[in-house]
């Protein structure tokens, strides 16, 4: 039985539907082990789906391409005007960022634009997750399998899997030694582990040798001036699902400069600029009144805004202010680097399910979308809901 929820027909629609009887085993077989939260509620939620028109998908795709374009311009602006201190980037990383920006070392150049969209107004950028984007397996594989099973005649904005595989194949000749170490934390929820496992599998499919390593187990060989793994094997290329702002603060952070000439990083150091929320006021300054941007500043302005730390993940430490009152989140002073203030966007509301569009790029090209829904703040327990378009 299908029940419709939503407003006018030209809006995006959230439609209730019965989950597949064996959905847990089905998604587990595809690698999504973390599909249910600790309270028993599903993280992967196929009891509903979002439906779009082809023109709405075209709008999202065009907005994604445009946002990538202006983000690249903003990155060049940061480089040209030496704005690194405003981003909280340590001095020793500046020449490394400049070199990686100018030389364009091999990388996936992938990321996820988090957008507000209701099917009518232009999509609006919340932030650009281009350093350590997650919810990738769900977007690339799990929701596609759901579509093929439930709505085989419908379509889906989704070329993420194919584009990631193609990009790995493209950079193989440029990766020293043909081996990539995949580093991440041993996260309790398993989200980082799943994302790394998926990308590692893609790398092996194109002939790369891979080695997994926890970030805490990365060592430094002072004689060779090289990062090494637990077997003292040199790390030539490191894929790190670990934010650059955390890497530089580790005990081994200063050694990054010493290893810069001998080691490749995926993703590269220049991602420190665009993944930092300080890029949002820079974008607004460069492109005021752009249809895909929300006003953003380094100080509070207006009656309703979201206070965001420059460096945070999964909605952490956000504060939503409306008419001078905090309506969600907390200000716990957890951002020594500072904050930005972005105009509040009123998300579509489907019975307290407020969707945020995650629109993907690979090598700078639009690659599909995933949808997570939560209440006012989209956190790491937000539900992933599939989509189709007609």
Q: What does the pLDDT profile of the chain (390 residues) look like in tens digits?
A: 333 444 444 678 999 999 999 999 999 999 998 888 777 788 999 999 999 999 999 999 999 999 999 999 999 999 999 999 999 999 999 999 999 999 999 999 999 999 999 999 999 999 999 999 999 999 999 999 999 999 999 999 999 999 999 999 999 999 988 999 999 998 765 788 899 999 999 999 999 999 999 999 999 999 999 999 999 999 999 999 999 999 998 888 889 988 877 899 999 999 999 999 999 999 999 999 999 999 999 999 988 989 988 887 655 677 888 887 776 666 656 666 789 999 999 999 998 899 999 999 999 999 999 999 986 666 667 899 999 998
> What's the rounded Cα separation, in Å, for the pair 363 and 366?
9
pLDDT at 330: 60
pTM (whole model) above 0.75: yes
Contact predicate 150/2, CB 8 Å: no
Q: Where are the domains of the chain?
A: 3-276+348-389
pLDDT at 4: 43
pLDDT at 5: 46
């Amino acid at each position: 039985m299908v029940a419709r929820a939503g407003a006018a027909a030209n809006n995006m629609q959230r439609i209730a539907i019965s989950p597949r009887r064996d959905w847990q085993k089905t998604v587990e077989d595809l690698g999504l082990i973390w599909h249910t939260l600790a309270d028993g509620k599903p993280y992967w939620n196929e009891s509903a789906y979002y439906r779009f028109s082809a023109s709405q998908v075209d709008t999202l795709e065009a907005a994604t391409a445009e946002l990538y374009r202006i983000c690249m311009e903003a990155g060049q602006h940061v480089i040209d005007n030496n704005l690194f201190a405003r981003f909280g980037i340590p001095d020793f990383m500046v020449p490394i960022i400049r070199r990686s920006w100018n030389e364009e070392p091999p990388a996936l150049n992938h990321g996820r634009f988090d957008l507000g969209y209701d099917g009518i107004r232009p999509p609006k950028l919340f932030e650009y997750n281009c350093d350590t984007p997650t919810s990738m397996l769900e977007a690339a594989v799990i929701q596609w399998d759901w579509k093929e099973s439930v709505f085989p005649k419908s379509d889906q904005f989704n070329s993420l899997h194919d584009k990631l595989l193609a990009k790995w194949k493209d950079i193989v000749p440029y990766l020293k030694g043909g081996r990539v170490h995949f580093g991440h934390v041993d996260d309790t929820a398993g989200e980082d582990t799943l994302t790394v496992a998926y990308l590692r599998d893609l790398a092996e499919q194109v002939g790369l040798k891979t080695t997994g390593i926890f970030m805490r187990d990365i060592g430094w060989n002072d004689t060779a001036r090289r990062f090494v793994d637990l077997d003292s094997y040199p790390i030539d290329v490191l894929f790190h699902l670990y934010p650059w702002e955390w890497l530089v603060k580790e005990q081994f952070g200063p050694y990054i400069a010493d290893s810069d000439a001998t080691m490749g990083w995926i993703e590269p150091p220049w991602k420190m600029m665009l993944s930092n929320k300080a890029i949002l006021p820079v974008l607004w300054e460069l492109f005021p009144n752009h249809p895909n941007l929300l006003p953003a500043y380094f100080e509070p302005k207006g009656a309703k805004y979201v206070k965001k730390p420059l460096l945070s993940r999964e909605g952490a430490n956000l504060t939503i202010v409306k008419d001078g009152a905090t309506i969600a989140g907390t200000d716990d002073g957890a951002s020594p680097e500072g904050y930005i203030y972005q105009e509040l966007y009123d998300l579509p509301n489907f019975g307290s399910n407020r969707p945020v569009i995650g629109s993907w790029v690979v090598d700078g090209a639009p690659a599909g979308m995933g949808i997570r829904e939560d209440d006012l703040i989209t956190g790491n327990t937000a539900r992933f809901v599939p989509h189709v378009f007609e």
